[in-house]
Structure 1
Amino acid sequence: MSATTDQDELAPSQTPGYKVGEKKTMDEYVTMDASDESLKRWKASLGLASNKPATTDDDRKVIILHLALEVPGRPDEILDLSSKDALEKVKDKPFIIKEGVEYQMKVKFRIQHEVVCGLKYIQVVKRRGIKVDKTEEMIGSYGPSEDPYEKKFMIEEAPSGLLARGHYEAKSKFIDDDGFTHCEWNWSFDIKKDWD
């Protein structure tokens, strides 16, 4: 049996029978099937109906501004992911999660230049080199906009007990239906009996 690589672990799951649609330009999306009411609603949901995308010197299609851990009654724990420099700093700053607490992850991001279809978040968590969790969260399809989008993930509960406490390493990425990775980074956290 061969060892799996990090890339294999971070590969998105495949839905049998699902085929990625043909890539289109912004102009093609705006003008296609102007008389189709359901298509008009879909385009409006992507912000294509009347939205004027911002002009920018940044070539990225998806800019992940930050990923945050939201716990009721506490300030959010925020991972700045907005630049290569920020991604480097994140891996050296583990944060603390209190055992047994309910939390929710959320991401804030901007889309520019073109429509991004099927954006997903994938995360693999390891403890002492052994995989203990894999998360795959569908973010959705979005059109370019000056305003950032925010997506909250499902509510989860941190593990608890003496065996759950300790240091965890994580690797995460945002990938779309075309298989393009928009952001990938390493980070870590510690599960402790309390917040300090």
Structure 2
Amino acid sequence: MSAHPKEATEDELAPTETQGYKVGQSKTVAELAALDQEDESLQRWKASLGLGPNAAAGGSKKVILKTLFLSSPTLSKDISVTIKEGVEYSVGITFTVENEIVSGLRFLQVVKRSGITVDKTEAMLGSYGPQEASYTKVFASEESPSGMLARSGTYNVRSRVTDDDKQVWLDFEWGFKLAKEW
């Protein structure tokens, strides 16, 4: 089955592979907490990461997206999915990790206009341990296109978050338009 011409394909949303990189063996939070019990300083460091002796996993690994946001110094608080042309902006996400460590978390995003890819973002988020507090990551600033041609259509976006195990934690489509004003 072929993808709709405006949608990002699976190939476009596949993370870049680093030649020679091999994903390490996964260990549970409990297994990591049990390592090197005799090293007091290492145990303190692991406790600061949430890997202390009481770090019992309560289920399977989960990444929960809380928000995907757009920020700009000129952005008004009342925003729909319209981006002001020629303005600098950043995309960011807020998420939590539950139960086990997630390694190699990545954000991928493909922007298309009239079925043609006009932008692709791939950002490494890193590895995260489980905790109640949310993590927030803001990506590098970009400048939105400007001019009459840039304002003449709708931009289709597909955003995805994956990890080293190729688990897809988020995959959704959205869109925006460009305008002279917010």
TM-score (norm 1): 0.78
Query: Is this contact kept in 1: 2:30–2:55, CA < 8 A?
Result: no
Q: Which runs of 5+ in 1 are unaligned?
A: 79-93
Give the gaps of 5 or more residues in structure 2: none
Q: What does residue 147 of structure 2 align with?
A: 161
Give the RMSD, CA atoms, in angstroms.
3.1
Say whether the 8 Å CA contact 1:96–1:190 is kept in structure 2: yes
Match of 2:103 in 1: 117
Q: Quick check: 2:157–2:174 contact (8 Å CA) kept in 1?
A: yes
- Residue 29 of structure 2 contacts residue 57 of structure 2 at CA under 8 Å; is this kept in 1? no
Q: 2:14 aligns with which of 11, 15, 19?
A: 11
Residue 151 of structure 1 aligns with an amino acid whose one-letter code is K
* Counterpart check, 1:192 vs 2:179: yes
> 1:118 deviation in Å?
0.8
Which residue is equivalent to 1:144? 130
Deviation at 1:7, TM superposition (A): 0.9
Query: Would the alpha carbon gap of residues 39 and 99 (structure 1) be closer, same or farther in structure 2, given more than 3 Å must change?
Result: farther
Give the Cα separation in 1 of the matches to 2:56 and 2:95. Answer: 14
Instruction: Tell me how far 1:46 sits from its aligned partner.
Output: 4.2
Deviation at 1:48, TM superposition (A): 2.5
In structure 1, the partner of 2:170 is: 183
1:69 matched to 2:70 = yes
> Pairwise mapping of residues 31-180 of structure 1 onto structure 2 (< 5 A)?
31-34=34-37, 35=39, 41=45, 43=46, 46-49=49-52, 61-75=62-76, 95-165=81-151, 166-180=153-167
Closer, same or farther: CA 38–105 of 1 in aligned 2, 3 Å: farther
**Match for 2:66: what amino acid?**
L
- How many residue pairs get matched? 176
User: SS where residue 27 of structure 2 aligns?
Assistant: coil
Q: Give the match's secondary structure for 1:24.
A: coil
Q: How far did 1:124 drift?
A: 0.7
Q: In structure 1, the residue corresponding to 2:91 is in which secondary structure?
A: strand
Contact preservation (8 Å) 1:51, 1:145: no
Q: Whose radius of gyration is greater, 1 or 2?
A: 2
8 Å CA contact retained: 2:36, 2:42: no
How far apart are 1:36 and its partner, in Å?
A: 9.1
